[in-house]
């Protein structure tokens, strides 16, 4: 499965185009056995999380982005379910409110960065400020266009201070989004998730795709890479995200800290 990270990563300075990626692609992985492999990955993530917590010198930040109904909530539910809640935090970023509106756009993001020893999951993120802000002209181009470099500087600073950052763009087709919206309408337990704003936002599909393309081109770096996950098939989405998380944490070569006392000299009566 290690080939997935190599195939799904967006190399720095790549001329990324989502139109060239098939959101149905499973990169040669068969559905048969996928659930068993996902379960194996969840168990391995649990072990690696414990190592990260014990070491307490680094943290791990996972960013999830995607158009409405791309599966951010589902990914968190199915991939992170094996993690210890004491060592992981999920932060959802919505429209800035209160103090958030009176600070720079990265202020609320930095506050949510996981402390050493912990895993942080961002459900949407600072990238909203070069996506929805751009598409809807919330601020002038001269403002949002500077944010790519500001974001890169911010993520480089996190990396320099022992925060490992990886970012996933969950990519679905426009047809798959419509199907998932219909499912929300047909299932009474999912009606609450549907908003008329979802329908309205579909009118901006092409603008969002171009905004995502530029985000990938300008903000996939060696220290904080972007991975585009074909997400029409939920089982593959979950498997790919879990595998890349496992591979990344294993590459960090996490170690248990040495005991602070000579354990061999301890005796119990």
pLDDT tens by residue, 86-109: 999 999 999 999 999 999 999 999
The answer to whether residue 235 scores a pLDDT higher than 90 is yes
Nearest to 236 by CA among 52, 43, 81, 24: 24
Average pLDDT score, the chain = 95
Q: In the predicted model, what is the mean pLDDT of residues 191-202?
A: 84
Tokens of 189: 């337990």
pLDDT tens by residue, 16-71: 899 999 999 999 999 999 999 999 999 999 999 999 999 999 999 999 999 999 99
Contact 55, 254 (CB under 8 A): yes
CATH of 3-254, one of 1.10.10.350, 3.30.70.330, 3.40.50.300, 3.30.70.20: 3.40.50.300
Radius of gyration of the chain (CA): 20
pLDDT band at 248 (very low <50, low <70, confident <90, very high): very high
The answer to whether residue 175 scores a pLDDT higher than 80 is yes
The SS3 call for residue 156 is: helix
Percent of the chain with pLDDT over 90: 86
* Contacts within 8 Å (CB) and 24+ apart, 28-35: 29/1, 29/4, 29/236, 29/239, 31/233, 31/235, 31/236, 34/235, 34/236, 34/239, 35/235
Domain spans, the chain: 3-254
pTM for the complete prediction?
0.95
pLDDT of residue 268: 79
């Amino acid at each position: 499965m290690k080939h997935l990270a190599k195939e799904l990563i967006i190399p720095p300075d790549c001329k990324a185009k989502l139109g060239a990626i098939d959101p149905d692609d499973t990169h040669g992985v068969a559905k048969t056995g996928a659930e068993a492999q996902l379960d194996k990955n969840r168990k391995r993530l649990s072990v690696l999380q414990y190592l990260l917590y014990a070491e307490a010198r680094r943290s791990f930040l996972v960013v999830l982005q995607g158009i409405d109904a791309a599966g951010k909530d589902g990914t968190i539910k199915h991939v992170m379910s094996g993690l210890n809640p004491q060592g992981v935090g999920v932060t959802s970023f919505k429209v800035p409110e209160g103090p958030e509106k009176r600070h720079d756009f990265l202020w609320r993001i930095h506050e949510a960065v996981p402390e050493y020893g912990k895993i942080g999951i961002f459900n949407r993120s600072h990238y909203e400020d070069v996506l929805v802000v751009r598409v809807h002209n919330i601020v002038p181009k001269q403002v949002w266009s500077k944010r790519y470099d500001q974001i890169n500087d911010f993520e480089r600073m996190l990396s320099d201070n022992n925060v490992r950052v990886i970012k996933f763009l969950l990519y679905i087709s426009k047809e798959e989004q419509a199907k998932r919206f219909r499912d929300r309408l047909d299932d009474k337990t999912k009606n609450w998730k549907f908003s008329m704003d979802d329908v309205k936002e579909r009118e901006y599909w092409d603008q969002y795709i171009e905004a995502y393309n530029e985000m990938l081109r300008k903000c996939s770096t060696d220290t904080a890479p972007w991975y585009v996950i074909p997400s029409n098939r939920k089982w593959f989405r979950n498997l790919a995200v879990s595998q890349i998380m496992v591979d990344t944490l294993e590459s960090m070569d996490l170690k248990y800290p040495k005991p602070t006392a000579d354990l061999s000299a301890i005796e119990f009566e």
